[in-house]
Structure 1
Amino acid sequence: MKVLVTPTSLCRDPQGASLRRLRDAVGEVVLNPHGRPLAAAELVPLVADVDGIIAGLDEYDEAVLAAAPRLRVLARYGVGVDRVDLDAAAARGVIVTRTPGANAIAVAELAIGLVLAAARGIPRLDEAVRAGEWPRLEGKELTGGTAGVVGFGAIGRLVAERARGLGMTAIAYDPMLPDEAFAQAGVERVEIDELCRRSDVVSLHVPLLPETRHLLDERRLGLLPPGAIVVNTARGGLLDEAAARRALDEGRLHGVAVDVYETEPPSSSPLVGHPGVVATPHAGGHTGGAVQRMTDQSIDALVTALRGGRPDGLVTPAPAPR
């Protein structure tokens, strides 16, 4: 069997133990030749004779899937599947999996780090001191404030827990969960407009779907209290970047912190470079622990599916028993 592996962090050490384990299980392994997420046109020549793919943040559209007649399983190295055409995969009988929970701690910790960085202007202060300056920048205290968590899955729950540890009150919005999920966490459930009105910090943790694109748009950003902070470590497109830039320029927001962008890399983002913005390069899941968990879970799912079993983390319908 032949497997394509595209995640850059997994491809970094071709002779590492994880890829050796994968080769022992499947035979031939081909690695991403470009060292970055691949566009659909770049994937087409790579998938012609593969049986499985461990997929990073690449673009798996219908054309890519059509070019892979032998493909049986696409194992996402992460949780987002917005760059995979799930309908096309299901129509072709391609199993799609993901690694739920593998990077939850890493992303939640980065989200809290970005909140602190934006609240106190830490990157700007660091840059100034490195340049020989000694500025006084007025920061924002978080204790006593309200953290609004949009999306209350594994990551959102961890962010709420950590925000409470900072002395904040956590409230959350997630239309997909029962009331019990919020009650068990001791977090008040609210609708999204109420969350925006009450939150000094809003942190986004939902998938990018047609109905969530620009979930934080001009109108909802206008509902936020003066001096609020917005953090997006989920998916670019959830936040209307142009509207957020206007809110910063007009002094309505204290800061914006983003790890994800509408276009990546964010060469044309209106946010990058603004003094009120803290920007990181889609690094939420990049800790040693998270990388190893994503690696193990994605390899396990791929091998299980290729052997005719039922893998964990299924996104498309389960395969028929063999």
Structure 2
Amino acid sequence: METEMSRTLKVLLCSDDDGLMVKTIKNALSNKGFEANIVLVRDQHDADTISKEIVDADVVYPDKAIITKEMIESAKKTRLFQFGTGYDTIDLASAGERKIPVCNMPGITAQSVAEHAMYLVLALARNDREYGLEMKEGRWNRGVGVELAGKTLGLIGFGNIGKIKARIAHGIGMKTVAFRRNKEKGNEGLNFVDIVGFDHLLEKSDIVSILLPLIEHGSYRTKGIIGKRELEKIGGAGLGWLINISRGPIVNEKDLIESLKSNIIRKAALDVYEMEPLPENSELRKLPNVILTPHIAGETREALVRRYTLIAENTIKVMNNERPLYIVKELQSIF
């Protein structure tokens, strides 16, 4: 009986079930002899319910929910905070003090995110938003698009997603430049990519694509690095298009809206926003030169199965007192 009890665990998922999540996690845990009590908190802004359920949770998947110091201190049984790619919504210092590993999933959604980012480039080039609306209204307006071959794509960030997007862009004949803080790493064998300085990229790219994690403090801070000055540089070069599939606060949204209104930035495509869900009255919804998607870049069946499988695998590891995969860099020295 004691053995059976030790194989039962509570997994708190701050997310709605998409038909794959609970099934994939439960099956993977069951295959290893664990009986999972899976609790869903579908509203990621429901701090009261999260605070209540976290108290006796063995593993927590916050997704995009905010996990405060108080929540962490009350999480007496928790052995793991498992995030997706970004982990900017948890108090890392408190997790470190409690010696609870915080893990993410580097590269797990990279292919899907890169494909979505490239879809947005193609959608801008072929006036997808305008044609889609007009055709549904019964109109037949054959406008003019943009050929992407020969255009310069600037990647701010050159990690897993950046490298995949660079390959796709190269395949359709685009020139690619990239900015990365660690220039010594170079282009890692992708000889068709030039690693350049930040301002050089902004001034020479037709299309700028943001591929960075959100870092709010310190010398590697990325919050707000794209503001009025940077938008003017982007707008002064080539097509003047901006793509953001990383995190909303990396771009000053107020400055972006003003630059779109004044046509400094001619077009933008966004999957992420300063506030999510994007408020119904957001000015972004009203602008004709923006394509918006609801933070779905990594939401493909293949990427989701990989994500949920890793949640289960890391759960098994911590329940067996093993080191989980992909502890975030800020906490690696503790474990």
Cα offset, 1:15, TM superposition? 6.2
Q: What is the rounded CA distance, in whole Å, between the counterparts of 1:106 and 1:183 in structure 2?
A: 21
Q: Which amino acid aligns with 2:271?
A: D
Q: What is the rounded CA distance, in whole Å, between the counterparts of 2:286 and 2:311 in structure 1?
A: 35
| Residue among 280, 283, 291 paired with 2:293 | 280
Q: Which amino acid aligns with 2:117?
A: A
TM-score norm. by structure 2 comes to 0.88
- Name the CA shift for 1:15/1:234 in 2 (closer, same or farther; >3 Å): closer
| Residue among 221, 233, 241 paired with 2:231 | 221
Q: Deviations over 1:23-74 (max 9, x none)?
A: 564434232143x434433310111111111331111121221221211111
| Residue among 213, 224, 243 paired with 2:255 | 243
Q: What is the rounded CA distance, in whole Å, between the counterparts of 2:144 and 2:255 in structure 1?
A: 24
Q: What is the rounded CA distance, in whole Å, between the counterparts of 2:265 and 2:333 in structure 1?
A: 45
Cα offset, 1:241, TM superposition? 1.7
Unpaired runs of at least 5, structure 2: 1-8
Unpaired runs of at least 5, structure 1: none
Identify the residue that residue 170 of structure 1 maps to in structure 2.
176
Q: Name the stretch that deviates more: 182-191 or 230-239.
A: 182-191
- Name the CA shift for 1:144/1:303 in 2 (closer, same or farther; >3 Å): same
* Secondary structure, counterpart of 1:167 in structure 2: coil
* Secondary structure, counterpart of 1:266 in structure 2: coil
Identify the residue that residue 3 of structure 2 maps to in structure 1.
none
Would you identify which runs of 4 or more consecutive aligned residues in structure 1 move more than 6 Å? Answer: none
Q: What is the rounded CA distance, in whole Å, between the counterparts of 2:109 and 2:265 in structure 1?
A: 29
TM-score norm. by structure 1 comes to 0.92
Q: Is the 8 A contact 2:204 2:238 kept in 1?
A: no
Identify the residue that residue 4 of structure 2 maps to in structure 1.
none
- Name the CA shift for 1:15/1:143 in 2 (closer, same or farther; >3 Å): closer
Q: What is the rounded CA distance, in whole Å, between the counterparts of 1:306 and 1:271 in structure 2?
A: 45
- Name the CA shift for 1:161/1:146 in 2 (closer, same or farther; >3 Å): same
Identify the residue that residue 8 of structure 1 maps to in structure 2.
16
Q: Is the 8 A contact 1:170 1:188 kept in 2?
A: yes
Q: Name the stretch that deviates more: 274-283 or 240-249.
A: 240-249
Q: What is the rounded CA distance, in whole Å, between the counterparts of 1:26 and 1:51 in structure 2?
A: 12
| Residue among 264, 277, 302 paired with 2:276 | 264
Q: What is the rounded CA distance, in whole Å, between the counterparts of 1:15 and 1:147 in structure 2?
A: 39
RMSD of the alignment, in Å?
A: 1.9
Percent identical among aligned pairs is 28
- Name the CA shift for 1:93/1:128 in 2 (closer, same or farther; >3 Å): same
Equivalences for residues 143-162 of structure 1 within 5 A: 143-162=149-168
**Does 2:34 correspond to 1:19?**
no
Cα offset, 1:128, TM superposition? 0.4
Identify the residue that residue 91 of structure 1 maps to in structure 2.
97
- Name the CA shift for 1:40/1:104 in 2 (closer, same or farther; >3 Å): same
